[in-house]
Amino acid sequence: MSNPGRAGLIILSLSMAVASISCSENQIQEVSYSLVEGWAELPEGIEAWGQTIGVEIDTGGNLLVFQRCFASNCIGRDEVPAFLKYNSDGKLIDSWGEGMFVWPHGFFLDVDGNIWTTDARGREGKGQQVLKFSPDGRVLMALGTTGVAGGGPNTLSGPT
């Protein structure tokens, strides 16, 4: 490449870099929020949050929380729901997933409002699965063999 061609390329590159920086600076908005203590009511008998996997807004505008049974896993906590659904006022309007998970890990809402989850560990006949739930918490699909880790056609190992 000749020197005039190289100089033109350098000037063009610098111009694009400056333009992208100035556009980025104009688009930065200050995030403001305020904490509302105790906004989301906890289920009866639960005193504190545990490890939360994900929080999404469902198709009805409700807040859906997927969490590890208010602990670091769900082992021995079969009576505790893994899913909590809140309205915009923080009122618990639904919960489900009791006794279904070992170590909730992945969480995704699809365009139809269905809930996809993963249970990345297996124990006591549970886990090592991908589960698809309807928006109201019914199991629509289960991928993997419940509680069995592996690399075969019907098993998963630590799905994420």
CATH code linked to domain 53-143: 2.40.10
Q: What is the pLDDT of residues 94-148, one digit of tens each?
A: 999 999 999 999 999 999 999 999 999 999 899 999 999 999 999 999 999 999 9
Under a CB-based contact definition with an 8 Å cutoff, are residues 106 and 133 in contact? Answer: no
Residue extents of the structural domains in the chain: 1-29, 53-143
DSSP run (H or E) holding 13: helix 3-27
pLDDT value at residue 21: 64
143 Cβ contact list (under 8 Å, min separation 6): 129, 130, 131, 156, 159
pLDDT value at residue 143: 97
pLDDT value at residue 3: 66
The pTM of the whole model exceeds 0.95: no
**Segment 40-58 mean pLDDT:** 91
Sheet holding 92-96, edge to edge: 52-57, 63-67, 83-86, 92-96
